[in-house]
């Protein structure tokens, strides 16, 4: 297999990391501005949640579309295209004046966001194709860039507060402009050697197409991985989606304090992702997923106990002394995201790797980060509870992730250069 020069490997890693930072920032900045946008547009928090859920849903189509582009025309082309699309519509979001226009821009941006993750993971993992190489650590670091993006969105929320009711316009505009610059730089990246050698290889076994992802043993793997990701996303995004609104609406914290909590959460989450990636190299993909999901179950149990202990405190200072540490502990329970990137890359063959990884990732995200949190908030409201209970319900996802991770095979010793084989 052809080797990369050090500068080529650095270029791939650096720009894949940059794309994931922007993906994370674009994905989470809307969550920080959900409550202000609801007030500005005169709509409910549930209506804004519907926009976010819809963007996750169309992300499935974007994942398949851009994943297929990356599988047929190269990882570089696919990554450049996906960053270009979501950045352009994020920039346009800063100019909307109605709920309908906001809905359209965020949904179109969601199509672009839908392609980034699987392509970036395949790109970085294929840069370290041999046996024994620390793809788990590389994937953990790459996934942590998503939370660097979340930190960036929290920082933007703080600094743009000076613009008052127009703060969200400046935040979306800045992210969109930065993304367009990144898309231009991505176009000049070197192409994946694993992909190039797979394309150049003489015809042998029948090619694996999209239909094979939905039937037979490979279809079973796709289904189980999608269910695992759905639970994993719900375990994380019950918190990501409603955490800022919880601090704003229930605990009445100011923008600066909410931003500080968000920045601290992003740092802790990023460290948990890196830890998950390291554990994946040391203990294997399946055990690492089980251990990190189990920590998430413990963190949710702690959050629920603290919520129960402070139920009569009217969300005062005593409640904050318990709830802030409990909330920050939740950030340590998402370390499985540092495992999923390398595991998914190794579960699927090279010729459909980005398509499969994107399909699994974004189906899981649409269900777990989109539909499940909306259903959780609706259920909490129907039972007379506030958004804190919608956060706590994410425990369902953490439990599901701990159970489902045991159904997928261990892949730590796979060499990507030899090609992941479809299960028979």
- Integer Cα distance of 365 and 356 in angstroms: 14
**CA atoms lying within 13 Å on the CB side of residue 91:** 11
Stretch 157-176: mean pLDDT, rounded? 88
Token pair 């005593």 is at which residue?
A: 318
- Integer Cα distance of 54 and 100 in angstroms: 13
Q: What pLDDT does residue 202 have?
A: 60
Q: Which of 24-28, 153-157, 179-183, 311-315 has the lowest mean pLDDT?
A: 311-315
Stretch 277-297: mean pLDDT, rounded? 94
- Integer Cα distance of 322 and 170 in angstroms: 34
Q: How many degrees, rounded to 5, is the angle at CA 68 between CA 64 and CA 69?
A: 120
Give 85-130 pLDDT, tens digit per residue: 999 999 999 999 899 999 999 999 989 888 887 788 888 888 876 6
Q: Are 357 and 374 in contact (CB under 8 A)?
A: no
Stretch 343-359: mean pLDDT, rounded? 84
Closest by CA to 376, choosing from 387, 366, 384, 365, is 387
Q: Render 50-101 in DSSP notation, one character per residue.
A: HHHHHHHHHHHHHHHHHHHHHHHH-HHHHHHHHHHHHHHHHHHHTT--SHHH
- Integer Cα distance of 72 and 306 in angstroms: 51
Q: Which DSSP symbol is given to 352?
A: G
Closest by CA to 352, choosing from 207, 178, 247, 226, is 207
- Integer Cα distance of 38 and 251 in angstroms: 18
**Both tokens of residue 294?**
């189990």
Q: Which of 256-259's residues contact partners 24+ apart within 8 Å by CB, and which partners?
A: 256/158, 256/161, 258/32, 258/157, 259/32, 259/154, 259/155, 259/157, 259/158, 259/161
Q: Are 291 and 233 in contact (CB under 8 A)?
A: no
Give 197-244 pLDDT, tens digit per residue: 777 766 544 455 566 667 778 888 999 999 999 999 999 989 988 888
Beta-carbon count within 10 A of 219 CB: 14
Q: Render 203-272 in DSSP notation, one character per residue.
A: P-SPPP-GGGGGSHHHHHHHHHHHHHHHHHHHHHHHHHHHHHHIIIIIS---HHHHHHHHHHHHHHHHHH
Confidence of residue 419 (pLDDT cuts 50, 70, 90): very low
Find the length of the chain. 424
Say if pTM beats, i.e. exceeds, 0.85: no
**Both tokens of residue 288?**
């690492």
Burial of 97 (0-12, 13-18, 19+ CB in 10 A): exposed
- Integer Cα distance of 401 and 61 in angstroms: 24
Stretch 253-265: mean pLDDT, rounded? 84
Give 118-158 as a 3 state SS string: HHHHHHHHHCCCCCCCCHHHHHHHHHHHHHHHHHHHHHHHH
Give 56-97 pLDDT, tens digit per residue: 888 888 888 888 888 888 888 888 899 999 999 999 999 998
- Integer Cα distance of 257 and 117 in angstroms: 30
């Amino acid at each position: 297999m052809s080797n990369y020069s050090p500068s080529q490997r650095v270029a791939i890693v650096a720009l894949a990391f940059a794309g994931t930072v922007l993906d994370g920032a674009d994905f989470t900045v809307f969550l920080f501005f959900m409550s202000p946008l609801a007030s500005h547009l005169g709509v409910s928090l549930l209506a804004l949640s519907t926009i976010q859920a819809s963007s996750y849903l169309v992300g499935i189509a974007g994942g398949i579309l851009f994943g297929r582009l990356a599988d047929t025309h190269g990882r570089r082309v696919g990554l450049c295209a996906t960053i270009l699309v979501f950045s352009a519509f994020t920039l346009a979001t800063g100019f909307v004046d109605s709920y309908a226009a906001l809905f359209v821009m965020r949904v179109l941006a969601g199509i672009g966001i839908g392609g980034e993750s699987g392509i970036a993971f395949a790109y970085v993992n294929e840069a370290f194709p041999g046996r024994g190489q620390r793809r788990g650590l590389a994937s953990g670091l790459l996934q942590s860039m998503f939370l660097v993006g979340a930190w960036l969105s929290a920082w933007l929320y703080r600094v743009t507060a000076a613009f008052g009711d127009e703060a969200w316009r400046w935040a979306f505009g800045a992210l969109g402009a930065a993304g367009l610059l990144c898309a231009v730089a991505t176009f000049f990246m070197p192409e994946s050697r694993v992909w190039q050698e797979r394309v150049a290889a003489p015809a042998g076994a029948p090619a694996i197409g999209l239909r094979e992802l939905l039937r037979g043993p490979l279809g079973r793997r796709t289904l189980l991985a999608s269910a695992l990701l759905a639970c994993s996303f719900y375990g994380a995004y019950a918190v990501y989606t409603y955490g800022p609104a919880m601090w704003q609406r229930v605990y009445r914290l100011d923008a600066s304090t909410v931003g500080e909590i968000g920045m601290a959460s992003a740092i802790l989450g990023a460290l948990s992702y890196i830890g998950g990636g390291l554990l994946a190299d040391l203990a294997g993909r399946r055990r690492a997923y089980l251990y990190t999901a189990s920590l998430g179950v413990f963190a949710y149990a702690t959050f629920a106990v603290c919520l129960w202990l402070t139920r009569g405190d009217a969300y005062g200072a005593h409640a904050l002394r318990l709830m802030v540490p409990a909330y920050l502990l939740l950030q340590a329970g998402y370390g499985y995201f540092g495992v999923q990137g390398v595991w998914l890359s190794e579960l699927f063959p090279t010729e459909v790797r980005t398509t499969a990884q994107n399909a699994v990732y974004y189906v899981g995200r649409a269900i777990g980060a989109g539909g499940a949190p909306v259903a959780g908030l609706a259920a909490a409201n129907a039972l007379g509870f506030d958004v804190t209970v919608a956060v706590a319900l994410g425990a369902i996802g953490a439990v599901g992730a701990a159970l489902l991770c045991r159904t997928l095979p261990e892949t730590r010793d796979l060499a990507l250069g030899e090609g992941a084989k479809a299960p028979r």
